[in-house]
Structure 1
């Protein structure tokens, strides 16, 4: 789209309706109905959820996001009525199936003629070789030693822009760089060039600020007494008012819970950014080091000054491997000596798993509330023995990750047996076994990755 005076004068309203697959639905419906949005996007794909989707496909389940219907059903009609276009990565491991499912939802709602652009081409499993070096660990792909279940490259905004240019009301993709879900509409509306690094960097900042939904409106921010947030049960999800230069105001709908202020925006800007001056994406190497964040009113924060440099030559690829099975068991102990009894129970499980069942896989024993997250081996101080002795209740968790489903199931049964065969006062035992996935990352030459766009009409 060519840049003109009209484009320069416009402000584009973009909202985020989800920050992960299991996110709330009602704030997105509120945005769809009251937001007067040009675009609404749903960011629902993490590296492990994508790997899990590949596992699900291998077991005969759909490869798209399991919440696709629950999330799209309440917003498709109000978005179409308001002229709001939707973008999402809920296609997950099978974007085409996701697109077909969305078309069925639209038909069921009576929305004939809804145009759905499906972006594929992120699946690059056939392009990988065992000698490719890992980005996040030592060694090569071939040295991981686990069966590969899928490999997906992080695509940039370009194929989404193509889908919008085709008149799509809804764009569904698989693995895409999260900020691209907001950057693509800005490129489409304002006609930014593919080497307009400054504006691409600014648009990437907008996408990065919005992509985690409620994290910028008070979620994952609230800390009572230090950072108080009102209305946490009814957090409003964010929207951005973006100008042609990429400068934006971050806000939320009135009469919703949460807050948008300089602190929430600053925390989100730095979230998962290792180098603010060189945030690597498929579209641009974004530079957030010169960003100015200014309170512009109640629940309104102005951001400007982001820039960028040439995009990387390589695309990041997430490679999923079948990691075996995770066996978990939990049981609670209460009253005097609860922690000591829980520790004894953990020792019992470890001994039986190793000496009776021949387990050679690492076994993790946690006392939830006393040492499940911060342990001495990870740099935290050992629990105070006096404080531990006074703990009124403790939840024991024991886990093993093994290639053997039988061994994982055995651990869960052993924890359940603590009801009678363990220390005094155990109760509330539960166990489960889930298939485990392991992810690694490599780089691939972007020229080898060829996205495609197909339009489906409901």
Structure 2
């Protein structure tokens, strides 16, 4: 395969619930070689495993069908390859769904599903959770265990010539590292070049965050035209340097400030950012403004990749019960606090971790910062965790009872019961994990 002079990769989604149109704009106007949709988080895949347990044909991203239906004609027309982790708990079923959409649209397509991240059968329960230092069996019933695969798992799928590569749990930057390694012929053992690719992947993975979405503050950090926020693309060269930009007509800004914030996002140790591909040193990265909404990224160095892979463990953690009620007008704060005290007195013995929030007054900051402000309206929220749904429901029932048993003027009660899926992490020997690729096609 002839090496490209440059590869352009766009990021059309930064999480499962992201907007649909930025990816469409990138595919239509971004002149891309690759489009990445990054749609997984720790709880996302645990919930996907729950759906798969109920229906073996499910378990992939809930928005997969809508996204692919919109994108497939553009991907085909503009010869863009798609890489996405929308396979979640069921990449093979996701590939089948994409083939079904392609048939409906009359578009020939080849899809490669990457499997091997589901390691639930390899988990004994004796593994030590990184967050608690205790065996994961003490957390609750384990329902999912997915290892973070790296670029090496994606490369065989790219080599099949598939138009779409769909994975389960893969480290976010690896979705970008893999196509760069594939196109430029880099060695996975070249730690510095893989570190540079990881920097680009990390900058791109959250999509609208780097164009100003999560960065924006209308007082201190204003961002332009946020209602039409564009998502980024990166031009990457064979030496690993990159330029981050976006489609011209889209909203948002890409500046040194937005890129710096994203570079440090979720980075505990900038000298040692661990991925399945490399241990990257972000302190050697250099950023330069290269025109409006264009940032040049150079530097980045690396060390040997870890011998272990992180595994995200999902477990059943009981049920939360919630109840909300609003008090408005004169004395709203005092009436809301009285209502909260009533609920605490009635339920504290059953729910030791019962939480009371006064939304609009002290739900975000502690009461010591509220001073003597007199809000005109306060919404009381009470929440706690129960072992069963019936126990958790008691909380909302008690809040509802305040209509006639509590302070005057309460209204707008809502009550909820939700099952809680807890997440912890463990490490597993990477040699125990054997990724594989399953190819499906239509019209080839």
> What RMSD over aligned residues (CA atoms) do the two structures have, in Å?
1.4
1:54 matched to 2:49: yes
Partner of 1:328: 322
Aligned pair in 2 of structure 1 residues 402, 59: CA closer, same or farther (>3 Å)?
farther
Matching residue within 332, 335, 343 for 1:341: 335
Displacement, 1:136? 1.5
Secondary structure of 1:283's counterpart equals coil
Partner of 2:252: 258
Where structure 1 has 5 or more consecutive residues not aligned to the other structure, the ranges are: 376-380
* Per-residue CA distance 1:228-287 (angstroms, 9 max, x = gap): 111010001000000011100000000110000100000000000111111000011111
Partner of 1:378: none
| Correspondence list, 1:307-456, <5 A | 307-354=301-348, 359-375=350-366, 382-387=368-373, 390-456=374-440
Partner of 2:40: 45
Partner of 2:70: 74
Secondary structure of 1:192's counterpart equals coil
Partner of 1:291: 285
Matching residue within 214, 220, 230 for 1:220: 214
**Distance in 2 separating the partners of 1:360 and 1:418:** 18
Partner of 1:89: 85
Matching residue within 195, 198, 201 for 1:207: 201
1:21 matched to 2:16: yes
Q: Is the 8 Å Cα contact of residues 370 and 383 (structure 1) preserved in structure 2?
A: no
Partner of 2:112: 117
* Per-residue CA distance 1:157-195 (angstroms, 9 max, x = gap): 112111111011111111100001111110110011110
**Distance in 1 separating the partners of 2:363 and 2:293:** 36
Secondary structure of 2:61's counterpart equals coil
Q: Is the 8 Å Cα contact of residues 361 and 370 (structure 2) preserved in structure 1?
A: no
Displacement, 1:447? 0.2
**Distance in 1 separating the partners of 2:247 and 2:282:** 26
Displacement, 1:307? 1.5
Secondary structure of 1:290's counterpart equals strand
**Distance in 1 separating the partners of 2:245 and 2:423:** 35
1:103 matched to 2:99: yes
Aligned pair in 2 of structure 1 residues 301, 329: CA closer, same or farther (>3 Å)?
same
Q: Is the 8 Å Cα contact of residues 327 and 409 (structure 1) preserved in structure 2?
A: yes
Partner of 1:167: 161
**Distance in 2 separating the partners of 1:51 and 1:249:** 35
Displacement, 1:385? 4.1
Q: Is the 8 Å Cα contact of residues 136 and 441 (structure 1) preserved in structure 2?
A: yes
Displacement, 1:416? 2.2
* Per-residue CA distance 1:332-370 (angstroms, 9 max, x = gap): 111122122112112222233346xxx245211111132
TM-score, normalised to structure 1, is 0.93
Where structure 2 has 5 or more consecutive residues not aligned to the other structure, the ranges are: none
1:141 matched to 2:132: no
Q: Is the 8 Å Cα contact of residues 362 and 370 (structure 2) preserved in structure 1?
A: no
Secondary structure of 1:289's counterpart equals strand
| Greater alpha carbon shift after TM alignment, 324-333 vs 36-45 | 324-333
Q: Is the 8 Å Cα contact of residues 11 and 231 (structure 2) preserved in structure 1?
A: yes
Q: Is the 8 Å Cα contact of residues 171 and 275 (structure 2) preserved in structure 1?
A: yes
* Per-residue CA distance 1:202-242 (angstroms, 9 max, x = gap): 11111100110100001011111211111010001000000
